[in-house]
Structure 1
Amino acid sequence: MVSWTGHVLPVLATILIWFFATGLVAWLDNRARHTFAHSLLLAGCAAIGGIVIIALAMQHATLLGVYASLAGAILI
């Protein structure tokens, strides 16, 4: 039997996070050339935020910790 929280929700969350991140990268790639430095600064901040999220999620072996780790990995 397929459960909502055990099978469907993780797949949906992964797909939504993945496509949102892909769309964000595509949008940033199509911006004007003079915005590159600003985009690079924001990407660096997002990567640092992803590392912090993963470091905090390591302390929690829960479902929320798993989702937070996925989001942090995508940010990196």
Structure 2
Amino acid sequence: HELIATDVVARLGGDEFIALLEGSRSADAAPKIAARIMDTLNEELVIDAHCMTVGASIGISQFPADSVTAEELLLNADAAMY
């Protein structure tokens, strides 16, 4: 599963980001894309001969199963992350 041109990734503030995956995808698309994001973030970075890693937490909510409003989708994704 890949991100497509209509998908949006944006920074909400601080260290919070959102990925909006639009279009008709299978129900398991979001968890598979989240796993790919985590795999990419877990790759070791080398900057000026220093090895670094990045950590992240991901919560998923889906329309319309989890909510029909954007605000509730964000709240549910936040709850899922914890």
Please tell me the TM-score bracket, short chain as reference.
0.3 to 0.5
TM-score normalised according to structure 2 size:
0.34
Higher RCO (C-alpha 8 Å, min separation 6): 1
TM-score normalised according to structure 1 size:
0.36
